[in-house]
Amino acid sequence: MIIEVIFLSIAGTVLSIVIGSLWHAPFWWAGKLHMEYTGFAALSKTEQKKAIKKAKKYMWKIYLIQAFLSLITSAFIAFVVAQTATVKAVSVYAPFLYVVAIWFCFIFPIITGSFLWGREITKKMGVQKVIADSLHYLISFALVTAMCILYFNWSVIIN
């Protein structure tokens, strides 16, 4: 089981990074909101190019740290799904309940609190940013959970 959890942790990390990259892409509403929140959208095209060039020097470090954080989360989700897969009395879909509860009880309050006590932004942007960031984590957690459930319970689900 430990090999499967490690494999799913790495796969979940990759999936989380792909989801996060798409979620914060400039063509998506959350990406546009993020650019506005960071002040990047207010910069001229020349200033944006300079900022991108400057950020490229240390961006790999940020991605590496985020990959490690995603690995921790994916490992936890894979472990929970693996443990519930061994209990026949528990529904194969129970991990979704656990993940939503963790998101609602921990992630959502932490993200909301960081905006309440963070930098000054408009109320409208704050609400939108909390929703965007919270949904990003909920969707990421749900897809990693779905991947793990499919892996551990494929025969149960198709029958």
**Which region among 37-46, 67-76, 98-107, 141-150 has the lowest average model confidence (pLDDT)?**
37-46
Into how many domains does the chain fold?
A: 1
Query: Cα–Cα distance between 7 and 66 in angstroms, integer?
Result: 18
Report the pLDDT value the prediction gives residue 126, as an integer from 0 to 100: 79
Counting residues of the chain whose pLDDT is more than 90, the rounded percentage is 55
Report the pLDDT value the prediction gives residue 87, as an integer from 0 to 100: 77
Report the pLDDT value the prediction gives residue 15, as an integer from 0 to 100: 97
Residue 156 pLDDT > 80, yes or no?
Answer: no
Report the pLDDT value the prediction gives residue 99, as an integer from 0 to 100: 92
Q: pLDDT band at residue 119, thresholds of 50, 70 and 90? A: low
Residue tagged 């979620």 (tokens): 23
Residue 114 pLDDT > 90, yes or no?
Answer: no
Whole-number Cα distances in Å, 24 to 19, 38, 46, 61, 72: 9, 12, 21, 18, 21
Q: What is the mean pLDDT of the chain?
A: 88
CA 36 to chain centre: 20
CA angle 128, 133, 139 (to 5 degrees): 120
Report pLDDT digits (tens) over 39-91.
888 899 999 899 889 988 998 999 999 999 999 999 999 999 998 887 776 78
Report the pLDDT value the prediction gives residue 120, as an integer from 0 to 100: 61
Q: How many CA atoms lie within 13 A of 29 on its CB side?
A: 8
**DSSP label at residue 93:** T
Q: Which residue, among 33, 38, 39, 40, has the nearest Cα to 124 in the 3D structure? A: 33
Q: Which residue, among 72, 157, 141, 133, has the nearest Cα to 103 in the 3D structure? A: 141
Q: Which domain holds residue 101?
A: 2-158
